[in-house]
């Protein structure tokens, strides 16, 4: 057992749920199993984009970010469903609960993946036994497949989990790098996108092995300080710890949504801005946070995207303040061309416990009076859903999932 649990090193798992959204839908409706299934945003209203797809669909060439018409051309029998984010959140919460039964050192990084440090879990068996039991339990209890990477650090565990899908378990040690990792194209390395890969190709760094053995000064000249970091990762060096509290480290909270049709209709834009500000406010309150900056994003009909922001002198958290600044930025920077997508983000976010408000006596009395009302509203909202004092004419539309999926729910499994 000691060979598996070194005295100085760590044993890290990376759990990666396979085709998560599609798998959840199949678990919910078993008649979908074995069929080509795709989850796509707004398929009825716009040429939707594939969010994820089943392995049966992928075998036909269907890929994430592909347009729906392209996917249907490749796979005429494709079943297309809208995303059901509440269903995916519930499945994610249950999955992370299972991970937390093994060790408290669990770090969620997205709805369908996370890290575990099992170094202190030797009493449960060797890492392979723990991984096999974990994979089986998630499959049996949630009917969801996952792949698990086992390694001495987070980077190698992440790379390992990608090596065998679905339902794979892969061990990647530093001594395995020359055979298992280095022959791969540099673009296959986690943390390297297409642009970075192209830059590396220009200096004859074509494989991960080339990067591992590359000249650090040349890499830094091309990629800046990131060049040295990537070289270290390619050599299996990653000192980052599995941090269960990392999920609370957020600097911004935002929401964005694609419009059904490109529009210049100011009423439609105004309504969507209100919905986005409302969504951001709910997330801010949920995290008991406030922010000192607002950013808007406008994506035009030709996919040209701009972001504009404003720094504030004081923290804000309420919809009215968020919307006021957002509208101000929007009207200042909109070029009157048709809009495809809008987004609002509150930046420089801080948990309110950490914000030292300088209040005079009069301000304090006003805030104290309002706090009772806010508390009552929040309690009723938690019990009944939406704020019972607000009459929303189009509640169903307001509750539609946004284009960007936030991470501010990832600690729900602890509740």
- The domain spanning residue 285 has which CATH number? 3.30.1490.100
Name the residue range of residue 64's domain.
20-83
Give the tens place of pLDDT for each residue, 12-25.
999 999 999 999 99
> In this predicted structure, what is the pLDDT of residue 407?
63
Distance, CA of 130 to CA of 128 (rounded, Å): 5
Token duo for residue 8: 């100085």
Q: Which of 2-6, 281-285, 355-359 has the lowest mean pLDDT?
A: 355-359
Distance, CA of 197 to CA of 177 (rounded, Å): 19
Q: What's the pLDDT band for 40 if we cut at 50, 70, 90?
A: confident
Distance, CA of 61 to CA of 231 (rounded, Å): 33
Give the tens place of pLDDT for each residue, 102-133.
999 999 998 999 999 999 998 899 999 999 99
Could you tell me if 295 and 377 lie in one domain? yes
Token duo for residue 359: 């209040």
Could you tell me if 280 and 397 lie in one domain? yes
Flag whether 375 is in a domain. yes
Could you tell me if 288 and 308 lie in one domain? yes
Mean pLDDT of 33-53: 80
With beta carbons less than 8 A apart as the criterion, state whether 66 and 107 touch.
Answer: no
Whether 253 shows a pLDDT value over 60: the answer reads: yes
> In this predicted structure, what is the pLDDT of residue 397?
40
Which residues 6+ apart lie within 8 Å of 309 measured at CB? Answer: 293, 294, 295, 296, 329, 347
Query: Which SS3 state, helix, strand or coil, does residue 119 take?
Result: coil
Active-site residue, from 56, 113, 281, 317: 113
Could you tell me if 114 and 171 lie in one domain? yes
Could you tell me if 330 and 269 lie in one domain? yes
Could you tell me if 281 and 145 lie in one domain? no
Q: What is the domain count for the chain?
A: 4
112 is in an annotated binding site: yes
β-strand partners of 309: 295
Whether 92 shows a pLDDT value over 50: the answer reads: yes
β-strand partners of 12: 117, 151
With beta carbons less than 8 A apart as the criterion, state whether 264 and 336 touch.
Answer: yes
What is the four-CA torsion angle of 331, 336, 341, 342, rounded to 10 degrees?
0
Pairing of strands 169-171, 146-151: parallel
Single residue among 176, 195, 220 that ends a domain in this structure: 176
Could you tell me if 344 and 355 lie in one domain? yes
Could you tell me if 312 and 339 lie in one domain? yes
> In this predicted structure, what is the pLDDT of residue 17?
96
What is the sign, positive or negative, of the torsion defined by CA atoms of 197, 198, 200, 206? positive
Distance, CA of 152 to CA of 9 (rounded, Å): 7
Averaged confidence pLDDT in the chain: 85
Q: What is the DSSP letter of 35?
A: S
Whether 200 shows a pLDDT value over 60: the answer reads: yes
Could you tell me if 168 and 187 lie in one domain? no
- Look at the block and give the residue holding tokens 């209890």: 141
- Active site annotation includes 228: no
Flag whether 4 is in a domain. no
């Amino acid at each position: 057992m000691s060979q598996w649990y070194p005295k100085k090193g760590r044993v890290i798992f990376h759990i990666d749920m396979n085709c998560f959204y599609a798998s959840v839908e199949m678990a919910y409706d078993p008649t979908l199993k074995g069929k080509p299934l795709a989850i796509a945003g707004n398929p009825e209203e716009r040429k939707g984009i594939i969010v994820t797809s089943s392995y049966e669909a992928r075998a036909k060439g269907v890929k994430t970010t592909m347009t729906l018409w392209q996917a249907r051309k490749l796979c005429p029998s494709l079943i297309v469903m809208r995303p059901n984010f509440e269903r995916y959140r519930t499945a994610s919460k249950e999955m992370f609960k299972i991970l937390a039964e093994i060790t408290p050192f669990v770090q969620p990084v997205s709805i369908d993946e996370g890290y575990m440090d099992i170094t202190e879990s030797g009493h449960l068996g060797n890492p392979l036994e723990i991984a096999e039991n974990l994979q089986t339990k998630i499959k049996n209890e949630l009917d969801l497949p996952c792949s698990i990477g086992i390694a001495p650090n987070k980077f190698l565990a992440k790379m390992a989990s990608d090596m065998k899908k679905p339902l794979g378990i892969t061990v990647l040690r530093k001594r395995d790098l020359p055979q298992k990792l280095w022959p791969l194209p540099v673009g296959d390395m986690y943390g390297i996108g297409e642009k970075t890969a192209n830059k590396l190709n220009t200096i004859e760094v074509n494989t991960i092995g080339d990067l591992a053995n590359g000249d650090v000064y040349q890499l830094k000249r091309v990629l800046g300080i990131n060049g040295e970091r990537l070289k270290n990762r390619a050599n299996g060096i990653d000192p980052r710890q599995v941090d269960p509290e990392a999920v609370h480290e957020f600097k911004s909270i935002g929401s964005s949504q694609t419009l059904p049709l490109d529009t210049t209709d100011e009423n439609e834009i105004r309504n969507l801005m209100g919905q986005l500000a409302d969504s951001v406010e709910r997330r801010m309150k949920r995290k008991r946070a406030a922010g000192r900056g607002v950013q808007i994003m406008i994506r035009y009909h030709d996919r040209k995207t701009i972001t504009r922001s404003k720094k504030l002198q004081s923290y804000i958290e309420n919809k009215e303040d968020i919307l006021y600044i957002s509208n101000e930025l929007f009207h200042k920077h909109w070029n009157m061309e048709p809009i495809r997508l809008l987004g609002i983000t509150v930046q420089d976010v801080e948990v309110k416990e950490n914000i030292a408000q300088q209040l005079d006596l009069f301000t304090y009395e006003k805030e104290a009076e309002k706090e009772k009302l806010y508390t009552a509203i929040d309690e009723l909202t938690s019990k009944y859903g939406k704020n019972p004092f607000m009459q929303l004419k189009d509640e169903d539309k307001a509750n539609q999932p946004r284009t960007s999926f936030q991470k501010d729910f990832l600690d729900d499994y602890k509740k």
